Amino acid sequence: MNSKVEGKINLDVAKWIIALSVMLGGIYANSYYSSIEPFYRVLAGAVLFLLCVLIVLSTEKGGYAWNLAKEARIELRKVVWPNSQETGQTTLMVVGVVIFVGLILWVLDSLLSWGVSGTIG
């Protein structure tokens, strides 16, 4: 491996360690300062969480995750969502099939139960 790749990997590892340290420090600070009003602790936790996310997104794997999220959003826009009539019809079909299969299983269970109880006595 060349020195640029090794430097990039070492820098990414350092960023992950920093993000983990910030997160663990926030958890410790939240328990240490438990007497402070919860609103301020939640606000500080949100800021630390945002800082961790920004640090992680600056790594190579974080960049991949961000690109995946952007591509997923683009693909989600391409989906043709059903209207309310189609949703209602599909729901009724699913409910009907579930009831039908439930009745079949109930009949089979009853027959098998009747057969076993007749055999055993």
Residue pLDDT, tens place only, 39-73: 999 999 999 999 999 999 999 999 999 999 999 99
Torsion of CA 70, 72, 76, 79, to 10 degrees: 140
Give pLDDT tens digits for 18-37: 999 999 999 999 999 889 89
| Residue 77 scores a pLDDT above 60 | yes
CA distances from 8 to 15, 21, 66 (A): 10, 20, 18
Q: Of 79, 94, 110, which closes a domain?
A: 79
> Do 74 and 89 lie in a common domain?
no
For residues 24 and 67, membership in a common domain is answered with yes
- Residue 1 above 60 pLDDT? no
The answer on 53 and 19 residing in a single domain is yes
* Domain co-membership, 92 together with 70: no
Across 97-113, average pLDDT: 97
Residues 56, 21 contacting (CB under 8 angstroms)? no
**Does residue 91 share a domain with residue 64?**
no
Q: Please give the residue range of the domain that contains residue 116.
A: 82-121
